[in-house]
Amino acid sequence: GLVHTAPGHGTDDYIVGLANNLEIYCPVKVDGVYDETVPEFLSGLSVWDANEVIVNKLKETNHLYHVSMFTHSYPHDWRSKTPVIFRSTEQWFVAVDGELDGKTLRTAALEATENDITFVPAWGQNRMRGMLDSRPDWCLSRQRAWGLPIPAFVQSDGTFLLTPETVRAVAKVFEEHGSDSWFAQPPEILLTHWENPDSIDLTTLEKMHDIFDVWFESGTSWHAVMQARKQGYPVDLYLEGSDQHRGWFQLSMLPALATTGKSPFKTVLTHGFMVAKDGKKMSKSGGNALNVDDLLKDFGADVCRWWVASLAYENDIKVDMSFFEIAAESYRKVRNTLRFLLGNVGDAEGVEILPTSIDGWVLGELSKMETKVTSALRSYDFRIAQQALYDFCNDTLSSVYLATVKDRLYCDVQDSLRRQQTSATIRIVSDTLVRLLAPFMPHTADEAWRALHGNEAESVHLETFAGTDFALDSSWSQVMALRDQALKALEEAKDDGIENPLDAGLVLPSTLSNFEETDLADLCGVSRVSFEGDCVIVQDLREEPRCDRSWKRDGTVSLRSDGGMLSDRDAKAVGVE
């Protein structure tokens, strides 16, 4: 069919017009009526009233072969629910292909994307590059009754007055009296601080009433927030959803490159969006949205943050109330570990920790974990950091170390050397662990920090990471491998009636003889160990007396002066012979 092409009305026609050097003709004025460039019988009519007039005119001149009316969908304003028309208008633009220091703004942005910015995840770079390759000039102006005005004036000869000096003069008035001054004050007041080198009669100026695109306001926040306040520029990190490569990320980069020659950010982190557990978009109207206030009330901010840290945020994130319940259980395990630690801290000053002791082992594991967490945080891999913290609390501490040292904490003489060493170790572990947990569970960490250092201590969030550096003795890998063998042998010994590991002893390979016997006994949960040969052997100790206090059968248990059966260690602890 034959259709008209009107480059001044409609995006597709405009693009066709540009490609074929057609005039961008728009005879419709701002009030929706035809101007004086149209035939006289149409001039002054609204576009709606003109429809019937044009049809009748074509009938009168016998130029209309056939006319038929039909109803079709037409663009409507979503607020007023009334039809709208499209027309080209004068706007303010940023020319992305205009020259800037020998290169276009588009080229500068593509070079920064390629060379100066780290993208997390890496596919963000291709997305940004594609958006920049295809983007048109940036239309800065909007026609609204609200917003930040573009400080331009129309002079009596129809030219515009907009210079760096006039902009700074208007900005000074805005700083003193607010941006509403544009709407409330005449040009001569708005330009009070302008030197007016050409002695223009300011009373003849007419204010323009375009406002800035809101993306220009948010896209220059790097200046207002960081550069103007001397907080550091460029910014380390911009973080937003995956739709912002065409939005905030890109529209922050363009003004920054144009005015400073640098990208406003060193790193861009892109995350997905929350969706329902079935993958559908969450919305109030859909009835599947979660209320944040309810989540905070039911689970607390720390559980919600702990859950967020566990996510692979590169993709869309499925959300369901049951996921927060799982996160709450995980959080409770960490919190309970902290409570046990804080209940057993001692003074770490002047206490030597041997690498071959169980305390030396946990400090070596602590250093490994801290390195892993801080490295993951630097690369914004929060999931790796969160999992490392959870595994350390749940496995390294609860399942191994704290299970091992529980006996000495409960049963040793309070000032015994090994109890002091363990309490000192627990202080080091607690101090480092609370610092590392602070970004993930800030309230819990602050509470634990004050419990550790006193209520007068400053917030943990004013601290830095500890940077512990305790080398792990390489022999511990052999110890832990033999521990696995020992635990398996003890499990098999249940078939012979040894239900309680404290009813057993272990014979371990003599290669471990440089480790403390009591450490290895407690590590395996048995009453005692000895070293001989090169394999693991379970000893049945049920015929030997058991300590009433520690339940151990360590070979020193006997009847004491108070009538109890106690080991030498436990007798000393309670002060009996």
Q: Which residue has the higher pLDDT, 278 or 409?
A: 409
pLDDT of residue 381: 94
Is 26's pLDDT higher than 80? yes
- Report the half-sphere exposure of 350 (CA within 13 A, side-chain side): 2
Average pLDDT (199-225) is 94
User: CB–CB of 512/519 below 8 Å?
Assistant: no
pLDDT tens-digit map of 453-509 = 999 999 999 999 988 889 888 999 999 999 999 999 999 999 999 999 999 999 999
In a 10 Å sphere around its CB, with 0-12 CB exposed, 13-18 middle and 19+ buried, how is residue 531 labelled? middle
State the Cα–Cα distance between residues 505 and 532, nearest whole angstrom: 13
Which amino acid makes up residue 282? M
Pairing status of strand 537-540 against strand 504-508: antiparallel
State the Cα–Cα distance between residues 282 and 121, nearest whole angstrom: 24
Is 1's pLDDT higher than 60? no
Average pLDDT (376-390) is 96
pLDDT tens-digit map of 41-51 = 999 999 999 99
Average pLDDT (268-287) is 82
Is 439's pLDDT higher than 90? yes
Residue 113: its H or E element: helix 105-115
| Residues sharing a CB contact under 8 Å with residue 102, sequence separation 6 or more, in sequence order | none
pLDDT of residue 86: 86
Which two tokens mark 519? Answer: 């450490």
Pairing status of strand 528-531 against strand 504-508: parallel
Which residue from 247, 189, 262, 186 is spatially nearest to 217, judged by alpha carbons? 247
Helix axis angle, 292-299 to 301-309, nearest 10°: 110
Question: CA 572 → CA 313, 340, 564, distances in Å?
Answer: 56, 25, 13
User: CB–CB of 267/239 below 8 Å?
Assistant: no
pLDDT of residue 170: 97
pTM: predicted TM-score of the whole model, two decimal places? 0.81
Q: What is the DSSP letter of 262?
A: S
pLDDT of residue 230: 92
User: CB–CB of 467/501 below 8 Å?
Assistant: no
Which residue from 220, 99, 96, 218 is spatially nearest to 167, judged by alpha carbons? 220
Q: Which residue has the higher pLDDT, 154 or 82?
A: 154
- In sequence order, what E strands does 391-475 have? none
State the Cα–Cα distance between residues 285 and 469, nearest whole angstrom: 54
Average pLDDT (512-516) is 91
pLDDT tens-digit map of 547-558 = 999 999 999 999
Q: Which residue has the higher pLDDT, 72 or 571?
A: 571
The length of the chain in residues reads: 577
pLDDT of residue 242: 87
Confidence of residue 292 (pLDDT cuts 50, 70, 90): confident
pLDDT tens-digit map of 134-154 = 898 999 999 888 899 999 999
User: CB–CB of 297/321 below 8 Å?
Assistant: no
Average pLDDT (154-170) is 95
Average pLDDT (444-451) is 96
Which two tokens mark 454? Answer: 């006193």
State the Cα–Cα distance between residues 41 and 53, nearest whole angstrom: 8
| Residues sharing a CB contact under 8 Å with residue 318, sequence separation 6 or more, in sequence order | 274, 275, 276, 277, 279
pLDDT of residue 538: 96
Is 119's pLDDT higher than 90? yes
Confidence of residue 165 (pLDDT cuts 50, 70, 90): very high
Average pLDDT (437-453) is 96
pLDDT of residue 283: 72
Of the chain, the percentage scoring pLDDT greater than 70 comes to: 99
Average pLDDT (529-534) is 91
Is 168's pLDDT higher than 90? yes
C-alpha R_g of the chain: 38
Residue 119: its H or E element: strand 118-120
Is 327's pLDDT higher than 70? yes
State the Cα–Cα distance between residues 115 and 107, nearest whole angstrom: 12
pLDDT of residue 533: 85
Confidence of residue 2 (pLDDT cuts 50, 70, 90): low
